[in-house]
């Protein structure tokens, strides 16, 4: 069972309003980090953040905002039926079809991340799982799944439910011919895990004759890597490198 099957990590010693503000802030920062990685220039991705008050709703970027300009005020609250529950702007309906079923099926998740990337998308076309061929690969050992389905143009909640079913209890999923998706018990965990997952895809695409480590060695590495929240650690490091003033999203 995934290390993520725990209570949301940011819920300790905070009011529900503080939790909401933090999730929204990290969601906006997450989009800016995608831009820093040079992903999402075509608007081809989305980050969700479950609302801690209306837990069947989630925050997501409204349609049409460049990722490098995202502010908290650009987020909209999406209702279970895909309508606008709070905020101003158009709901990214493709994002709704994917994220709503996942968050509904996984109450342990606060966030999911999906964006088209230079290595994850081509790797997904091979319709296979990762092997433990690098240290970062071990993060996902026995903790990711494959959505082996030809519906790359996700246009219904039903399709999203199939993705959620394939994801199961795992940290991440490879969407065949489409790309990567990660989940997290915080927005930071989901975003940071996604960056790690893209690097794992890059290693797989660049290495012609890899020699995987043993299952036991991969499990040992994984347990050590994820115990402090590998995604949250990555998220914090990425913020320090790419976003000098995180409060920019709140102004």
Question: What residue ranges do the domains of the chain occupy?
Answer: 9-246
Instruction: Report CA torsion sign: 75, 192, 21, 8.
Output: positive
The pLDDT assigned to 205 comes to 97
Identify the bridge partners of residue 180 per DSSP, sorted by sequence position.
Answer: 115, 174
Is the Cβ–Cβ distance between 183 and 109 less than 8 Å? Answer: yes
The pLDDT assigned to 2 comes to 59
Q: Which residue is it, tokens 């490098």?
A: 68
| Alpha-carbon distance values, 243 to 36, 182, 193, 248 (Å) | 9, 22, 18, 9
**CATH for the 9-246 domain, from 3.40.225.10, 3.90.180.10, 3.10.20.30, 3.55.50.30:** 3.40.225.10
Is the Cβ–Cβ distance between 37 and 65 less than 8 Å? Answer: no
pLDDT digits (tens, 9 = 90+) for 53-107: 999 999 999 999 999 999 999 999 999 999 999 999 999 999 999 999 999 999 9
The pLDDT assigned to 1 comes to 46
The pLDDT assigned to 188 comes to 97
The pLDDT assigned to 251 comes to 82
Query: In 3D, which of 182, 103, 112 has the Cα closest to residue 143?
Result: 182
Q: Which residue is it, tokens 């695409």?
A: 205
Is the Cβ–Cβ distance between 48 and 60 less than 8 Å? Answer: yes
The pLDDT assigned to 152 comes to 86
Is the Cβ–Cβ distance between 178 and 120 less than 8 Å? Answer: no
The pLDDT assigned to 4 comes to 65
Low-confidence ranges of the chain (pLDDT < 50): 1
């Amino acid at each position: 069972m995934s290390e993520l099957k725990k209570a949301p990590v940011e819920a300790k010693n905070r009011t529900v309003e503080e939790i909401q503000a933090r999730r929204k802030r990290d969601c906006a920062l997450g989009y800016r980090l995608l831009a820093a990685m040079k992903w999402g220039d075509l608007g081809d991705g989305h980050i969700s953040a479950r609302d801690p008050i209306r837990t069947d709703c989630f925050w997501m970027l409204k349609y049409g905002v460049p990722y490098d300009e995202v502010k908290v005020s650009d987020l909209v609250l999406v209702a279970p039926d895909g309508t606008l529950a709070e905020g101003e702007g158009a709901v990214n309906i493709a994002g709704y079809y994917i994220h709503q079923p996942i968050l509904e099926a996984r109450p342990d998740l606060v966030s999911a991340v999906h964006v088209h990337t230079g290595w994850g998308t081509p790797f997904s076309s091979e319709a296979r799982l990762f092997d433990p061929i690098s240290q970062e690969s071990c993060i996902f050992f026995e903790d990711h799944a494959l959505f082996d389905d030809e519906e790359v143009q996700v246009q219904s909640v039903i399709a999203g439910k199939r993705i959620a079913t394939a994801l199961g209890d795992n940290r991440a999923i490879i969407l065949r011919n489409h790309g990567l998706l990660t989940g997290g018990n915080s927005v930071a965990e989901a975003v940071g895990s996604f960056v790690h997952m893209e690097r794992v895809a890059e290693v797989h695409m660049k290495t012609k004759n890899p020699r995987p480590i043993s299952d036991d060695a991969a499990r040992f590495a994984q347990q050590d890597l994820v115990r402090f929240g590998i995604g949250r650690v990555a998220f914090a490091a990425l913020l320090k490198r790419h976003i000098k003033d995180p409060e920019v999203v709140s102004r």
